[in-house]
Chain A
């Protein structure tokens, strides 16, 4: 691809030797730009002349600027300025221009490279005849989605706003929540074709500097054509790229991001995506939900327990069932055994095949239901419930207990939709182990899984940190959510320098 059509960057590099800066002559500037930017209908070159015979060239992308501002505050200002207050021949053109244009944050630039970048970002560029500097006017304006509650992260109690696709708006949502002099946004541009903006956000006096340095290093290393969503970044900066376990977290909610950066984590925002990544990401974050902190600590702790139980159930239920139903008949109470036998009689497949068929069918249902237009959603549930729940059992295609087992697996897996890939893989492996070695295999699988999980790291922080600890301040926000008055310290590994939360200091 790269060889057949030279990229923007290569193009720039070729011409850099000839022309690097803005010329005095408008026509030269125009030719340069036309050479560097392929002819496109949304790019506008607008030359005009004022009454005092000054020639100007405006260059902008028509669709990503605010036309009203351009007409009124730029062209209007220059034309009327020339009439009312024509430029002195001796005076500085640049100073003159700045004095008549009513616009803030005007950037002067004479590097064509930089100018093109700003042009792409939605700036209006003004070239003036005889001036070796161009003015860049940030006048971005485009339609954007309004701020809504993210559909993927519904909560019942708590703030409703969610991120949108525009970085500026997203930044504003965070800045509004953290009125703190230490809150820092940094920008990096990545994507050889798309030149996407990536922002990282952190609180300078809380962040773990090692993690920050590591993150910046990894972001710098990114060399990819396009970044259309933060998911691209997620895959490129993970510690163990082959692992099904996610070592970066993500959210669409500003309150979650703020909560995370207040614990010393770093948020990564990407233009065009409402998904904000947070690193480092520990396993326990899969079990934590922002609502835990808004509802009372008792309810939150109960929910945590349920979520952890669900994590175990969703992975181990099929495996346990296969193990017991095929290897350990003595473990089943006699009456249940008889009922198992009754349900299995006439079913043509072995139990493990039944389980696998049902796992696949469930994943099919999930996948097809996910991308279905809303009106069709019901169809899937009817097909799922009737075909699988009833007809399959009555037709002796699948035995009834397997349907129940898969139902439990499915219900519990929805709690962890963010790590679904991991769940599917481990579930199938454990089911196979259960079929082969019985409970011995399931236990072995469980041990191996936990050893693997304990070996993982997220940006140098152990993935399973705080799980397995017995210290009060370390377990306070893991399987239970301790009351706020008990959470004196911030997570130590994340904020190594500044661990004490405010309330504790005052108390002391």
Chain B
């Protein structure tokens, strides 16, 4: 009698715990519609958000094939739009593997906080999802881009952002960084900017953009639109204030110490130097804020070690004199570029994307405390002093340029 009671109790506990604790979350994989990427636009006319999603599903068989579908829906909030999406896609979607979250310039101008809200409230979305800004015209067709290499556009974008360091001309922007920078008083947000660009048969992407370069032979007559990065978007708070182009972004990233090796620097032959590209092996930056006459003075010391990767000359530049000339050439170029980008953020955006406020906070605590509330003003008037030291430490596998015979 007693044993049967215990058994009954155990069965009861198991039944209750399995059915009512809400842990039961059994979904077979094939029922999941995996959202690879999401793009968000805003329609000022109706005051509605428009969402575009790229949903992936594998078709069965021994050779599993990825089928991608793009859907769009409108709603006053993103969640509303999401639910409206169900009627169009035919299923609830799964956010656990979403890689990119793209917002249009319009949304960025209105403010990011409203759209990021859903990402942090949702349990499924990962915190390393990339946030990207896209230009207004491209947002509708961003997921229609047919990339022959990647299965989905989102994978393309994810891969693109993964190699930010080698390119150096755009930034990697996972959600957690974005949230940290939006919430911080000491730094302003900077997000990568992409757009769709038409490629013709012999079209060459402009110098400031990172072209994907692939040309689809099948679409010779219909020029294809490809995704290219085009620098960065600078925010003040959560609102977009301006753009930086690719080179400016590189300078900004050097200053932010986000890239410190692998990227390239190129000098063109305008100052008596040959065309030359170097690969940066190591760059260290030291930023020291000082207060002079109650005015912020920022001293930046950049040390770069680089290897020569390409040199368009027959003269052996590994020798001391030529090498020094080359080093000085690079130093001057860098000083100019860094000054330019800082000036742009000071004058045009009044947005401290480099985190100088943070340095000041740590080193000049009292000054920062007094000027915290009007930091934008202080930053605008700050005096910048840049010192660059480039060391050509190597020349990759060869020490001589290619010899040309008579």
Contact = CB atoms under 8 A, between A and B. Distances in A.
B29 to A, nearest CB: 5
A437 B25 CA distance: 7
A220 interface: no
Contact of B29 (A334, A340, A437, A441): A340
Interface string B11-35: 0000000100001111111101010
Contact of A341 (B24, B58, B124): B58
B66 interface: yes
Nearest to A331: B96
Contacts of B25: 327, 438
B105 to A, nearest CB: 28
Contact of B28 (A325, A440, A441): A325
B99 A334 contact: yes
B56 interface: yes
Contacts of B56: 338
A329 B33 CA distance: 11
B124 A337 contact: no
Interface in A432-446: 435-438, 440-441
A394 B61 CA distance: 7
A330 interface: yes
Given A337-B34, A341-B58, A436-B18, A326 B27 contact: yes
A337 B30 CA distance: 9
Interface residues of B, number: 28
B64 A346 contact: no
Given A330-B126, A334-B34, A337-B34, A343 B60 contact: yes
A327 B24 CA distance: 8
A347 to B, nearest CB: 7
A334 B66 CA distance: 12
A85 interface: no
A330 B64 contact: no
A338 B151 CA distance: 11
B62 interface: yes
Contacts of B64: 338-339, 341-343
Given A329-B94, A334-B97, A339 B28 contact: no
Contact of B26 (A326, A343, A394): A326
A251 B56 CA distance: 55
A345 interface: yes
Interface in A305-335: 325-327, 329-330, 332, 334
Given A326-B27, A346-B60, A438-B23, A341 B34 contact: yes
B58 A338 contact: yes
B21 to A, nearest CB: 9
B28 A342 contact: no
B30 A345 contact: yes
A55 interface: no
B124 A330 contact: yes
Given A329-B94, A330-B96, A342-B61, A337 B29 contact: yes
B377 interface: no
A343 to B, nearest CB: 6
A340 B56 CA distance: 13
A344 interface: yes
A441 B23 CA distance: 10
Interface centre among A325, A334, A393 (most CB of B within 10 A): A334
A344 B29 contact: yes
B58 A347 contact: no
B137 interface: no
A296 interface: no
A325 B64 CA distance: 17
Contacts of A303: none
Given A330-B126, A345-B60, A438-B23, A338 B66 contact: yes
Interface of B: 18, 23-30, 32, 34, 36, 56-62, 64-66, 94, 96-97, 99, 124, 126
Given A344-B28, A347-B60, A350-B26, 11 more contacts: A329-B27, A329-B94, A337-B32, A337-B34, A338-B58, A341-B64, A342-B61, A344-B30, A344-B60, A345-B58, A351-B28
Sorted nearest first, the 3 A-B pairs with minimum C-beta distance are A342-B64, A342-B58, A345-B60
